[in-house]
Amino acid sequence: MSATDIKKPRGRPRQTAIESAPAKALDKGLSALRRIAESDGISLNDLSLDLEMPLATLHRLLLTLESHGFVRQSKSDATWSIGIEAFRVGSAFPRAAKLLSIARPVLKDLALKTGETANLGVIDQSEVIFIAQHETHHAIRAFFRPGSRSSWHSSGIGKVIVAFSDPLDQRSQLEKAPFEQFTQHTLVQVDELIQELKRIRNVGYAFDQEERFIGMRCIGAPVFNSNNQVVAGISISGPVARMSDDLIVQLGQETARHGEEISKQLGAGADS
């Protein structure tokens, strides 16, 4: 039999038909991701109604997106919100992120007023991810490249976010204790961290007292969204020689004030 005698199959090639199913799933997943990004948290039922998508299908898509970090589900009210991986992918166009565009001039002002490096970070599972920074001009200074990670329990930003999180999220973080001991000052046990979180809520800011690196200190304050939910933390970091004990309260109040400024521009109310 010659090559010309071979009959070609009629209709659309099977490979194209096979590829269409993942393409449709991707289209639905991106539609869900886009709708979630437009909200401050949305329930599965509301998302299903908005997208006119069956609950079971949508839930499978969300679980896949969650496994990759693109969305996350709140343990307190089961609503879905955008995940940290969505930020990392979208960081190629950072001006699209409202938090970043608001925070950057505030970070600059905080760095100028305190003379220390100012940072912005969020929590992803048990880690802080630094997403923006304004460096001081001092030769000795802290540096966290955007996208770098640090354990929440030894970070000013991490501790302040957990301190102002809802009780279920807070409990979820504490259940992972005991934590890694980075220095002799690191808090690793549940009871001492619970006391630390209470103290942070009382004063309005967190203090990292050489808990990650010997010789370096950090002060963190919370940032709230329009629903008065903590969504990020702002901090200053510097050496003990410049962030001495007698300056901690002053620096803490200044950092908290700048966190309140970002929160106000995000739409947070006075009771945050």
Domains of the chain: 11-87 (1.10.10.10), 94-266 (3.30.450.40)
Phi then psi for 128, rounded to 5 degrees? -90, 135
CA atoms lying within 13 Å on the CB side of residue 237: 27
Q: Is-contact 251 147, C-beta < 8 A?
A: no
Task: Please report the pLDDT score of residue 148 as a whole number.
Answer: 83
- The whole-model pTM stands at 0.66
- The closest alpha carbon to 219, from 193, 200, 246, belongs to 200
Phi then psi for 232, rounded to 5 degrees? -165, 180
Task: Please report the pLDDT score of residue 1 as a whole number.
Answer: 45
Task: Please report the pLDDT score of residue 146 as a whole number.
Answer: 73
> Distance between alpha carbon 10 and the CA centroid of its chain, in Å?
52
Gap between the Cα atoms of 88 and 94, Å rounded: 9
The three-state secondary structure class of 109 is helix
Task: Please report the pLDDT score of residue 8 as a whole number.
Answer: 46
Q: Is-contact 165 201, C-beta < 8 A?
A: no
Task: Please report the pLDDT score of residue 15 as a whole number.
Answer: 45
For 228: left if phi > 0, alpha if psi spans -120 to 50, otherwise beta; the answer is left
Tens-place pLDDT, residues 123-132: 988 899 999 9
Return the C-alpha torsion angle 166, 168, 173, 177, nearest 10.
130
The helix (run of H) or strand (run of E) holding residue 72 is strand 71-73
Low-confidence residues in the chain, pLDDT < 50 = 1-19, 92, 94-96
Would you state the structure tokens that stand for residue 189, as one six-digit string? 């046990």
